[in-house]
Amino acid sequence: MNNSQIGLGGGCHWCTEAVFQSLKGVTLVKQGYISSTEKNNSFSEAVLVSYNPNIIKLKDLIKIHLHTHKSTSDHSFREKYRSAVYYAHENQKLVIETFINELNEDFENKVITQVLKLDKFKLSRPELLDYYKKNPEKPFCKRYIHPKLDLLRKKYNEKTNF
């Protein structure tokens, strides 16, 4: 199997996990916390996504990521919910930056999502993993995750497992 990996952060990792678990070509989603380097060395909620680039392209993953969290909002919780795409290999950095710049045209306001080096990853506690799959009817899921999955169905249905 030809797998690649990318880190994605922006909103609650329960939401991000559910979005990317719903996509064809995504082989594994690890929910947790990612830190980068230098001024972004604190841990922030995020997921590590393993995917098959023969089935889903990196650009599609980034596009879906930007459209399923507040990628243009510099709100007060940005340290806990850093809007970022984390690369594992230096050769990914320019590609990701180029995609984000191209996708900026999709938005009324400028995308603030950072492109950061993946430094460390900590997995969430076991009881939090697969949160949506275990709890689809909980109020949090109905309020925050259902709308994101509805957006996937409407805009990216051909990329989903629904």
Q: Which percentage of the chain shows pLDDT scores above 70? A: 99
How far apart are alpha carbons 54 and 52 in whole angstroms?
Answer: 5
H or E stretch covering 89: none
Provide the 8-state DSSP code for 77. T
pLDDT tier, 1 (very low <50, low <70, confident <90, very high otherwise): low
Q: Give how far Cα 93 sits from Cα of 21, 58, 80, 98, 116, Å.
A: 24, 12, 23, 9, 8
Q: Which amino acid is at 135?
A: N
Rounded average pLDDT over 78-88: 91
How far apart are alpha carbons 140 and 94 in whole angstroms?
Answer: 36
pLDDT tens figures, 106-140: 999 999 999 999 999 999 999 999 999 999 999 99
Architecture of domain 4-159: 2-Layer Sandwich (3.30)
Beta strands 84-87; 114-117: pairing state: parallel
pLDDT tier, 9 (very low <50, low <70, confident <90, very high otherwise): very high
pLDDT tier, 77 (very low <50, low <70, confident <90, very high otherwise): confident
H or E stretch covering 84: strand 84-87
Q: What is the pTM (predicted TM-score) of this model?
A: 0.95
pLDDT tier, 143 (very low <50, low <70, confident <90, very high otherwise): very high
